[in-house]
Structure 1
């Protein structure tokens, strides 16, 4: 199958057929088809609102659907996303969010789409519409300079594997602060709470210096940092003091009642010898702050494994798919995805 000039298409009609998927260019929207063909296209503002309304049954932002719609449409995450929809006779049947994210892969700048909130309305399920829309969105974005698709799987991996996605290493760990003895915590360094807005330049420099040489990492410019701070404005930032007034690392904590979830972390120059001081200091600070549990996405590195028992994530599993032929998803890259952090999740 070959389609030309994807960037100029207003709509592409996606229809399941016996041996695959047939794509047909059309300038006008299909309004009445007996075979209920799916019209895949970038969403209009009205269709974006319909997509927000549709996800109420799975991801409600409030008990009332109108309150849900009012809240969801103005979330920082919602405002940052590009929306794609599949319609049947003008009705939004399926939708997805695509988040433009800059990565570096082995030093190469890579423009990626991160897929979030793939949803099909209950009236249109079990017809393969979500898969059709994902395929359309990938091709549309590839025609606009995107080289990589990333998603975080909450369902059976086979669903995305058949579309060409590859599972990457995805570890996590949780433990109770009471399991750490008073003597052990007494030896841990004292992390200091910081205001991320006041220390943004230092945080950006620390992150860039630590991640630039990894096989794969998210490249965060000032606009992206601003987005992450608006996304979860009540998170705590605890820094590991270093020499000459600089930080040797920081950990960002999301407050989940009495649980402290690790949302982001970094250590200077990506040094393994700083991981134990950072995470032991984190536990000490969490215990003093009244948190009974600490955990989240964690790197599968020896200093961390000595402190915390790690396990494979059962949800939010990182998966990659190259959108261009010359981008190779090698084993080193798949392992390095273990250093991904929750704040970059979509």
Structure 2
């Protein structure tokens, strides 16, 4: 599946979104690859989505690292094993909880953002679990505000859908600029459609890009507030009945807004008109180059405002996550 070669030639595909206020956000194909590489690794290690000693160990190890400021720097993040990155990933899929957990429990209200990306599984630090079961001895002071184990287990449905998706086995060197453009533009249209009083349910393609963006929480927060007018929350714990009704509602609003069936690409003219209505300019760059060391990459880019209304219950938007998806 193109998951381990250190010499991949990946297309350098980047979308820039310029808002009315002049803020520029960047969504990169490399960020999607970084996400897909991790998901593929979790799929072949099902013990990381099952109750048991191994999952429990890595949740504790993650909390231990957060307690002891071992997640902040680029160097520290470069040393993370993929198992810890997976637990951290699930925590970030709850953006309001993650924000509050950081600023309330990390010393000096420090917010831990993603600072590097990894484009092959070989870039992850190797970790021998069999020799490390008794390693965590220090007191753990970082406690997530929701049950992290249950949140990990809920990702099984998302991963089941991922295994049915073309990107699970897709040669990542072959992504076309048009395909990536469609993925990003549908995600942008979904964010634009979001409303506070609705549960906004994504298709799987959109959900994959949504999850990718939330891996860079500072960028996601500001992007959401600029495009939606509030922080669009993500919640994968809502019931199937609510999910079904919310998906139908989202599909109806999508069809009304974009004259297209949900799950289908929107007409180019309609997309341009939608972006014009919110004074957004979208540009796509495409450069094919040899993969090199991307360890110093700082994420999607974007901006962070300390005055953002994060964590306020009135800022919460939709509920979506591993139970989302569609045809």
Rg larger for: 1
Normalised TM-score (structure 2): 0.25
Normalising to structure 1: TM-score of the pair? 0.24
Structure (1 or 2) with the greater helix fraction:
2
More RCO (CA 8 Å, sep 6+)? 2
